[in-house]
Chain A
């Protein structure tokens, strides 16, 4: 057995610090498991526990305060063959609490050694997440107002399959560490110790008092056993192996002559649920089947199912620079919410702009040429208005043709959805819009 300690950098903790015992014990645990320097990575947090990596000659990653588990997770998923040990104090436990919970939930095969000495030693002895309420620390009365955390109970509640409290003075510490490292999943060892430089100066604490305090905490055996499940990385790889890599984006050949040249701007105004964005996409696909360039810029609130839905589509026989709409050639107005969103634009429109509107939508004053469709009378549902409107535009050869639209639907939909779309288009084609 070869020690994994760095011969050039002996531990440099305060005299009597429990951390030094833990360093030596961790070395014993790793060597007894037969692990070599390049099979192990020590990921250390900030504070006195953050010095651990420098005392070993293994791989090492010393990162930010509270974030050690995040690097360890990335490392372990990238290199599952590595034994990944994280050292963290009770400070890192508090600031990185979300990562501790999530690592328990994930059950990735890491070992977290919590060097729990009930205070922030390096910064002067302030209270941490595990400071007892009755302790005297550098945070004045603040720790008296907060309940200390029993991290093992938290870990068990969060789904950890292995969580053990152990005193840094316990002869079984190495055995506990080895069990944790061998555990096939996330394992947390809560190692209690004395910080002689800070905490120990003002608080009566001894190996005996540590044992007594631990004995008062609840046993977690059953909860931990019930948490047993697949290791995350292996389960991830099994799931991933069932997946099929997606094909690259579909190539659209130019097959049809476009009905008009130049730049055409189309404004689709509707409400959430009316498939306005899908209609804009279909319009772009249709343009591509005629070899046109197209852009689609959308505007909708972050709530789905409610509010305006606006799509601005530009088609052009030249590459498109500006993707906004200055003066649309075509406005499709299918719901009041969308019209309200772009109310300012209507006054600017001249007769050369065609406005295809639903009968139940009212428009601001405009000089645009209005065509009206009575969707309600036609029995067309709100969510089908946009597609029906595209059919109407295609019949009038405004921006797209029936051929372009049919090809776009083939690109966008398949199976039953495609059949439904094509059928709906047939039905809509029999009821042309009237001049409004």
Chain B
């Protein structure tokens, strides 16, 4: 086994390259800046483009333009930048523009602490768009995930024509760790699907899915047929519509194309336990402390199981319900004052649900989780 020493942000950059990313734009912000630094080293020499925008709004705007030209694109920022991205994110959702958005979370609110970690943007990523339509959010746990889930994020953005978030954290992105490079699992790289039916006699309808699919095929701006893109409420042809039926059908399709497919991309890891009485659910860097705590508890003979969610949105409801089956109580461990725990409460109203949270820039400690498990 040959190891490499790499931090999460470098792993994200290499994952992006492996997934076929050809365009990156960002605005410097700790703790996301080193993704931009790495992309600037990686992309231009390989025929790609890396830009520094005049602000976050420009950076994601460059990416949306390049994505509409057919490039795989990524941007990276932290909470303050996600706030500025918000309107462009809504555009990407409603107009089905593939993009990978890395949020290297830092302690908020607002400017907060540039060099302190948190998972304080988890509901913000889901609901920080006008219209409230769903998004995909993946949450890495370590450098390996930073690579592999970045590749997955690109594939999902291509397959579903949508923005995909990678919810990292200063504590992953700026933490170096050894990584078995050869053991990285590289999924088959997917590309957005062109229309099956081509020909000059048939105009391209940019928002009309084909067959059973809920995802419209994609032609880039610059293709041999004119391509329309619009941020306005549109029909299949990309022109404004005011027809309530067509509007409703499109909104419903945008919702269903992700929510009905989440079982296809419900990434997770777990520590099962026979006849588990207690289930610990965690994600992100806190899942590492949770794993350490649950392993210790299991060695001590306690029937505790662990579920680490790596797909946070849409909520992998089926997975969570299955893993919670038979458990009397659920502990949710997250680096905030209680965000994802709301989803667990919604899904499992008949269980005893306890939050183990923290939002002071420090990691949740395994001891804190063990206390929570013991406090029954």
Q: CB within 8 A of A75: which of B22, B65, B115, B285?
A: B65
Q: Is B221 in the interface zone, CB < 8 Å from A? A: yes
Given contacts A240-B45, A246-B41, A254-B1, contact A294 B25 (CB under 8 A): no
Q: Is A245 in the interface zone, CB < 8 Å from B? A: yes
Q: Is A239 in the interface zone, CB < 8 Å from B? A: yes
B194 CB to closest chain A CB, in angstroms? 15
Contact, CB under 8 Å: B177 / A321? no
Q: Is A298 in the interface zone, CB < 8 Å from B? A: yes
Q: CB within 8 A of A73: which of B62, B87, B363?
A: B62
Give Cα A280–Cα B225 distance, bound, in whole angstroms.
Answer: 56
Q: Is B3 in the interface zone, CB < 8 Å from A? A: yes
Contact, CB under 8 Å: B221 / A291? no
Give Cα A102–Cα B44 distance, bound, in whole angstroms.
Answer: 21
Binary contact readout A1-30 vs B (1 if CB under 8 angstroms, 0 otherwise): 000000001000000000000000000000
Q: Is B88 in the interface zone, CB < 8 Å from A? A: yes
Binary contact readout A272-302 vs B (1 if CB under 8 angstroms, 0 otherwise): 0000000011001101100111111111111
Binary contact readout B238-262 vs A (1 if CB under 8 angstroms, 0 otherwise): 1110000000000000000000000
Would you list which residues of chain A between 98 and 148 have a CB under 8 Å from chain B? 98-99, 101-102
Contact, CB under 8 Å: A239 / B44? yes
In the complex, chain B residues whose CB is within 8 Å of the CB of A358? none
A89 CB to closest chain B CB, in angstroms? 16
Please report whether the interface of chain B is mostly helix, strand, loop or mixed according to DSSP: mixed
Given contacts A74-B61, A251-B3, A287-B178, contact A59 B14 (CB under 8 A): no
Give Cα A292–Cα B180 distance, bound, in whole angstroms.
Answer: 11
Q: Residue on A with the closest CB to B23?
A: A78
In the complex, chain A residues whose CB is within 8 Å of the CB of B225? 38
B53 CB to closest chain A CB, in angstroms? 7
Q: Is A53 in the interface zone, CB < 8 Å from B? A: yes
Q: Residue on B with the closest CB to A70?
A: B61
Given contacts A78-B66, A294-B5, contact A38 B223 (CB under 8 A): yes
Q: Residue on B with the closest CB to A302?
A: B114
Contact, CB under 8 Å: A74 / B69? yes
Q: Is B367 in the interface zone, CB < 8 Å from A? A: yes
Give Cα A50–Cα B56 distance, bound, in whole angstroms.
Answer: 22
Give Cα A62–Cα B22 distance, bound, in whole angstroms.
Answer: 23
In the complex, chain A residues whose CB is within 8 Å of the CB of B182? 251
Q: Is A215 in the interface zone, CB < 8 Å from B? A: no
Q: Is A196 in the interface zone, CB < 8 Å from B? A: no
Contact, CB under 8 Å: B365 / A322? yes
Give Cα A287–Cα B4 distance, bound, in whole angstroms.
Answer: 11
In the complex, chain B residues whose CB is within 8 Å of the CB of A69? 61
Q: Is B63 in the interface zone, CB < 8 Å from A? A: yes
B235 CB to closest chain A CB, in angstroms? 12
Q: Residue on A with the closest CB to B63?
A: A74
Given contacts A79-B221, A249-B4, A321-B291, contact A70 B363 (CB under 8 A): no
Would you list which residues of chain A between 308 and 346 have a CB under 8 Å from chain B? 320-324, 326
Contact, CB under 8 Å: A71 / B61? yes
In the complex, chain A residues whose CB is within 8 Å of the CB of B6? 249
Q: Residue on B with the closest CB to A58?
A: B226
Contact, CB under 8 Å: A98 / B231? no
Q: Is B267 in the interface zone, CB < 8 Å from A? A: no
Contact, CB under 8 Å: A74 / B221? no
Would you list which residues of chain B between 293 and 310 have a CB under 8 Å from chain A? 295
Contact, CB under 8 Å: B222 / A59? yes
In the complex, chain B residues whose CB is within 8 Å of the CB of A9? 239
In the complex, chain B residues whose CB is within 8 Å of the CB of A250? 4
Binary contact readout B1-35 vs A (1 if CB under 8 angstroms, 0 otherwise): 11111100010001000000011010000100000
In the complex, chain A residues whose CB is within 8 Å of the CB of B60? 70
B113 CB to closest chain A CB, in angstroms? 9
Give Cα A81–Cα B223 distance, bound, in whole angstroms.
Answer: 11
In the complex, chain A residues whose CB is within 8 Å of the CB of B108? none
Give Cα A71–Cα B58 distance, bound, in whole angstroms.
Answer: 8
Would you list which residues of chain A between 36 and 54 have a CB under 8 Å from chain B? 37-38, 41, 43, 53-54
- Give the B-binding residues of A (Cβ under 8 A): 9, 37-38, 41, 43, 53-54, 57-64, 67, 69-79, 81-82, 98-99, 101-102, 236, 239-240, 243-246, 248-254, 280-281, 284-285, 287-288, 291-302, 320-324, 326
Knowing that A61-B65, A78-B222 are A-B contacts, what are 18 other residue pairs whose CB atoms are under 8 Å apart, sorted by A's residue number? Answer: A9-B239, A61-B221, A63-B64, A63-B231, A64-B91, A67-B58, A67-B88, A69-B61, A82-B222, A246-B41, A248-B181, A249-B5, A254-B3, A284-B178, A288-B3, A291-B1, A291-B3, A296-B176
Q: Return the 3 tightest CB-CB contacts between A and B, nearest first.
A: A70-B61, A74-B65, A71-B65
